Chain A
């Protein structure tokens, strides 16, 4: 855990220093301590561009990894991921709808408030998808995990189809915005976004460790968890809500960034075991470090242009996921 904490700090300093304009570490530190003591150009880059981007990256990385771990605990399956069950897709679809349809319909209504329409759209989309999944998969107060996974695949496909339809409708500028949503990027980071994401994501990160004992027991099965004194239905409802909040908030700020939620908890299970009391907070830390690293690479590898971070995480994450599948010789147990 301490190692992970150090990793987060290290990655953060790296992220602040690296970029189209390289800034040495000593100057980064002095800017952080005393902004007036250095050339204003560099201070501006650090304080207005890289610092909000770093904070957003930390928040979203932590949120994605943590919601991945939560969802895997909830589904009792290490292959579950918000991206996999269509929650991210639902959130992105709602965001896309806000871009394409909202421009025409909502702009006159809300005018100056349009910059919050997107995050709210994504959040509502995530919540609706999660809730719909829950409704489809729940009979007589019991959630069937298999149904939920399969319904998630259907929701993902439906979102994809609607997304395609939206891009068919949209003009050039909207198309660029849409591809931003489906690829994922932290390039739009501003202090406003940091301020919007913090109150949504931070409380979730603080609350999740309290679900750890229940999720450990849930690994045995829902009936077994109930026998062990865990209020299973309440646990599931809370976990679903937390996943919807974090995924909605991250998709709103940075679009769809895949695989962090599946790779990070898995690495941790391999190295430190599956106990959720460790897994949940450690996932948040490693997720934050990994996403910031990925973002640093994304914006330096082809500087001054930058790669959408979603391409990078998918390029590394998808083979990892396949490797995971191949390693599970017993097949995917539902």
Chain B
């Protein structure tokens, strides 16, 4: 099967500065790809170019075989969803209304009732069902982030009535989450990718990236340094070169415990 998403030699520059340069990527359907790299490496920019939001200066992004900028905005919203870093909202929308924005105008042949069900289901999966009627503006950063996670899940679910090969972009999805919800969200992402959804996420936590990603993509100063399985990408030499930290496994005793998630996030338990 041909790759679902391809980047061919893409550059993006703004204000005379090259943010990403000469990036080639080929992403297979149903995989979880994690983009890592130090601050300012161009991770978020790469995500925004790949999802069609920013037009590359050179090169091309192809989604499902066609150029992403040739796909009408409305149609594109059925093929991919983007979870932003938690944002401010000027108006007092409820969490339910925010998640419901994900299904408005998306999908075909869905009744009002279907859409409500999709949204409620997504809120449950993101563990914010109990916050449905709270004003978004009064939620904490982590709660907001989970509401947006619910919104993109709802968008993909509604969009599936038209397009089944879908991509989910996550821009630092766990930045404001507590430990339990970080693990739960990445667990959920893994489950979804096994069900056929293609996911591309920007993460800072290398441990979590190594544990959950099928493929890691390492960026530095706008260039792609390495891509592949965690053990090939995260070599000690490369970590010290790119992140300026040294990995010293021998000098530390192995950690006696590892964090795992208990099944107390309803959505994670179901699937």
A binding-site residues for B, Cβ under 8 Å:
72, 75-78, 213, 216-217, 219-221, 223-224, 226-231, 269, 273-275, 333
Binds A, one of B85-93, B120-128, B233-241: B85-93
At the interface, yes or no: B106 with Cβ under 8 Å from chain A? yes
* A228 pairs with B84, CB closer than 8 A: no
> Complex Cα distance A221/B53, Å?
12
* A229 pairs with B73, CB closer than 8 A: yes
| 8 cross-chain pairs, A with B, having the tightest CB-CB distances, nearest first | A229-B77, A274-B91, A227-B82, A229-B74, A76-B90, A77-B90, A231-B73, A333-B88
At the interface, yes or no: B155 with Cβ under 8 Å from chain A? yes
Residues of B contacting A273 with CB < 8 Å? 92-94, 97
B binding-site residues for A, Cβ under 8 Å:
48, 51, 53, 73-78, 80-82, 84, 87-94, 97-98, 101-102, 104-106, 155
Given known contacts A213-B104, A228-B101, what 12 new A-B pairs fall within 8 Å (CB)? A78-B90, A219-B93, A220-B101, A223-B48, A224-B82, A224-B87, A228-B105, A229-B77, A229-B106, A230-B105, A274-B91, A333-B88
Pick the residue among B48, B75, B77, B91 that contacts A228 (CB under 8 A). B77
Residues of A contacting B75 with CB < 8 Å? 229
* A219 pairs with B84, CB closer than 8 A: no
Q: A229-B77, A273-B97 are in contact. Are A78 and B91 (CB under 8 A)?
A: yes
Find the B residue at minimum CB distance from A234: B73
Residues of A contacting B87 with CB < 8 Å? 220-221, 224
* A219 pairs with B104, CB closer than 8 A: no
Residues of B contacting A220 with CB < 8 Å? 84, 87, 89, 98, 101
* B89 pairs with A229, CB closer than 8 A: no
* A228 pairs with B89, CB closer than 8 A: no
* B76 pairs with A229, CB closer than 8 A: yes
* B84 pairs with A221, CB closer than 8 A: yes
Residues of A contacting B101 with CB < 8 Å? 216-217, 219-220, 228
Residues of A contacting B82 with CB < 8 Å? 223-224, 227
> Complex Cα distance A139/B75, Å?
26
Q: List 6 A-B contacts (CB under 8 A).
A: A76-B90, A220-B101, A223-B82, A229-B105, A230-B105, A275-B93
Q: How far is the CB of A215 from chain B (nearest CB, A)?
A: 10
> Complex Cα distance A60/B75, Å?
38
* A227 pairs with B97, CB closer than 8 A: no
Q: A228-B106, A231-B73 are in contact. Are A223 and B89 (CB under 8 A)?
A: no
